[in-house]
C-alpha cells in the first residue's frame, strides 16, 4: 500500500477503464492528494476533520485498523454539519462495524461518545461493481466493470440531509438491497469461482461456459431468489430478471476474472451472515430447499492451500486440526441446534477425508 501511495504522490493522473459488452470507456482521474497515515497521521486527521465525506473499500477485516485515525479526525471536527462516513465493503452492515471500532473507548474518549453524532453520521451501503485482477504492468491504472450500483441508507442523516452525490441511490430501507446483492451477485460469483477452481477453469466466464457449472449456479440463485422474494416482497419476475443480468455480468469474458481471486478469503465467505451460510440458514429455518447452496458450501470448504490466499491456508489448518462439529461452529458460526448445522457437518467430514 505504501508504494501505491508514493506512486499517487508522484503522478498527476491515472486512468480507470470501464469494460462492458458495449465496449470500453477510459476515465482520467486527477485533482487528488495521497497521504500516508503511517508517516503523516496528523495530515490525515486534519483532512477528516474538515471533510464532507469519508469512504473506504479496504476489506471488512481491515476496518479495525483504519478506525483509530478516522476516530481522531472525527473527534477534531468543529464544523456544524457532521461528516458522512460510508464503508463500501462486500459485507452486511460494514459501516456499523466500522462505527463500532471508531466508538471503541480505545479510539474515542468515553466523554465524547454522547456527542459523536454531532460530528459524524454513519450510513450503511450496498456496493456492487466487479473489479477483476489487474494486469501486472498496469501501475496505477485500473480496469473495472462498467455496471455499478451504490445504494446508501439516508436515514442516519436526518435533519442534516445526506450528501449530494449523483452516483448514490439513497433509500429509507437498505436491507432488501444488501441481501439481494449479497445473495445474488456474491453468491453466484463465488459459486462459479469455487466450482471453476475444482474443475481447473482459469476465469469465471470460462467456468460459466461449462453447462454443468452454469446449471449449478442458476440452482443456487433459484434458492436465494426464493428467500429474497418471500422476505422482501420483490416480485418473482423482477428477481428473475435481476438474476439473468447478474449471470450475464459475471460471464463477461472481457473482465478475465480469475477464479482464485474471486474465491479468495473462504473463511469470510463461509461465515454466518455471508453469501452461502447467510441465505442457507434462513431457508433452513423455514424448511425450504438448499441443496445447491450446500453444494457450493462444500466447494468453498474445499478451497484450501491456494497460493497467495492466507485464509485458504488457515481453512486447511482448521479442517485438519478440528472435529467436524467444531469446524462448523468455528467457521460458519452456527449453533448445534440450528437446522443448518447438521447438514453442513457431513460436508465437512467429506472434505476432511479428501485432505488426508
At residue 139's C-alpha, the angle toward residues 136 and 144, to 5°, is: 80
* Active site (annotated) includes residue 200: no
CB distance 178 to 231 below 8 Å? no
**Closest to 323 measured CA to CA, from 304, 341, 345, 339:** 345
In Å, what is the CA distance from 299 to each residue of 226, 283, 330, 353?
22, 19, 18, 14
**Sheet hosting strand 83-87, strand order edge to edge:** 53-56, 83-87, 120-122
Give the torsion sign (CA, 282, 288, 293, 294). Answer: positive
Helices 236-250 + 187-198 axis angle, to 10? 40
DSSP code at position 151: E
Strand-strand pairing, 125-128 and 149-153: antiparallel
Return the C-alpha cell found at 146: 462498467
Rounded to 5 degrees, what are φ and ψ at 135? -65, 145
Q: What is the DSSP string of 1-32?
A: -HHHHHHHHH-S-EEEEEEETTEEEEEEE-S-
Strand-strand pairing, 83-87 and 120-122: parallel
Question: Which residues, including other chains, have CB under 8 Å from residue 91's CB and lie 6 or more apart?
Answer: 60, 97, 268, 273, 274
Q: Which of 72, 181, 269, 343 is catalytic?
A: 181
| CA 130/CA 133 separation, integer angstroms | 10
Max CA distance (Å), the chain: 62
* CB-facing half-sphere around the CA of 217: CA atoms within 13 A: 30
| CA 128/CA 136 separation, integer angstroms | 24
Catalytic residue positions, numbered:
181
Amino acid at each position: 500500500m505504501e508504494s501505491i501511495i508514493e506512486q499517487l504522490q508522484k503522478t498527476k493522473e491515472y486512468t480507470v477503464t470501464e469494460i462492458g459488452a458495449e465496449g470500453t470507456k477510459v476515465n482520467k482521474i486527477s485533482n487528488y492528494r495521497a497521504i500516508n497515515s503511517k508517516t503523516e497521521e496528523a495530515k490525515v486527521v486534519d483532512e477528516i476533520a474538515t471533510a464532507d465525506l469519508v469512504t473506504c473499500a479496504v476489506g471488512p477485516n481491515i476496518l479495525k485498523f483504519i478506525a483509530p485515525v478516522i476516530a481522531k479526525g472525527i473527534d477534531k471536527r468543529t464544523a456544524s454539519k457532521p461528516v458522512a462516513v460510508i464503508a463500501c465493503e462486500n459485507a452486511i452492515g460494514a459501516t456499523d462495524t466500522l462505527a463500532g471500532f471508531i466508538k471503541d473507548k480505545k479510539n474515542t474518549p468515553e466523554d465524547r461518545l454522547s456527542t459523536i453524532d454531532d460530528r459524524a453520521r454513519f450510513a450503511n451501503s450496498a456496493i456492487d461493481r466487479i473489479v477483476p485482477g489487474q494486469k501486472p504492468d498496469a501501475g496505477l491504472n485500473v480496469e473495472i466493470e462498467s455496471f455499478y450500483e451504490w445504494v446508501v441508507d439516508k436515514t442516519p442523516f436526518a435533519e442534516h440531509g445526506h450528501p449530494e452525490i449523483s452516483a448514490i441511490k439513497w433509500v429509507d430501507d437498505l436491507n432488501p438491497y444488501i441481501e439481494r446483492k449479497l445473495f445474488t451477485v456474491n453468491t453466484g460469483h463465488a459459486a462459479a469461482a469455487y466450482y471453476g477452481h475444482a474443475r481447473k477453469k482459469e476465469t469465471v466466464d470460462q467456468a460459466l461456459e461449462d453447462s454443468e457449472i452454469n446449471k449449478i449456479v442458476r440452482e443456487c440463485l433459484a434458492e436465494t431468489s426464493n428467500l429474497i422474494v418471500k422476505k422482501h416482497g420483490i416480485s418473482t419476475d423482477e428477481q428473475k430478471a435481476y438474476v439473468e443480468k447478474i449471470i450475464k455480468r459475471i460471464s463477461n469474458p472481457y473482465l478475465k476474472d480469475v477464479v482464485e481471486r474471486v474465491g479468495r478469503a473462504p473463511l469470510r465467505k463461509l461465515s454466518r451472515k455471508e453469501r452461502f451460510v447467510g441465505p442457507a440458514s434462513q431457508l433452513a429455518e423455514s424448511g425450504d430447499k438448499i441443496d445447491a447452496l450446500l453444494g457450493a458450501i462444500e466447494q468453498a470448504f474445499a478451497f484450501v492451500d491456494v497460493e497467495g490466499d492466507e485464509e485458504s491456508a488457515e481453512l486447511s489448518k482448521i479442517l485438519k486440526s478440528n472435529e467436524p462439529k467444531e469446524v462448523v461452529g468455528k467457521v460458519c458460526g452456527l449453533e448445534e441446534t440450528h437446522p443448518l448445522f447438521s447438514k453442513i457437518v457431513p460436508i465437512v467430514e467429506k472434505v476432511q477425508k479428501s485432505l488426508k
